[in-house]
A = this chain, B = another copy of it.
Amino acid sequence: METEYETRPREAIARILRAEPRFFSAAELCARLDESGTPVSRATVYRTLERLAAKGEAALRLNDRGEATFMSCDNGHHHHAICRSCGRVEDVACGALDSFVDRLRSLHGFQLDEHSLEFHGKCRSCV
């Protein structure tokens, strides 16, 4: 079968992600891990992030350069408000979009089953 081990690399990565509500690129994580004295190979960083995303414990986001970034994230459908200055992310409940979807179905004949929504701006401390 497929038991799961708890390893130092995995714990170090989870610790960094949990400490800050923002998206990290794989490269950023590698750098942090090097600094903190528990270096982890790129391969392992990617594997761990992919695993967290699959379990729904991390959100995957492609930044504007197409690079994958990850953030510790609760399960359940919601959206993100991202500070373009410091990177801080706040969760945003998804309301008001259902009526939108209904209207689209009748207006365009599109059967929508998914959407993505993202806000950008400046957070309290960066204004």
Residues of A within 8 A of B (CB): 62, 64, 66-68, 81, 83, 90, 92, 95-97, 99-101, 104, 108-124, 127
Contacts of A115 in B (CB 8 A): 117-120
On whether the beta carbons of B118 and A116 are closer than 8 Å, the reply is yes
The count of identical subunits is 2
On whether the beta carbons of A110 and B123 are closer than 8 Å, the reply is yes
Known: A68-B66, A100-B96. A122 touches B116 (CB 8 A): no
CB A110 to nearest CB in B, in angstroms, measures 5
CA–CA, A125 to B92, complex, Å? 34
Contacts of A124 in B (CB 8 A): 108-110
CA–CA, A62 to B63, complex, Å? 9
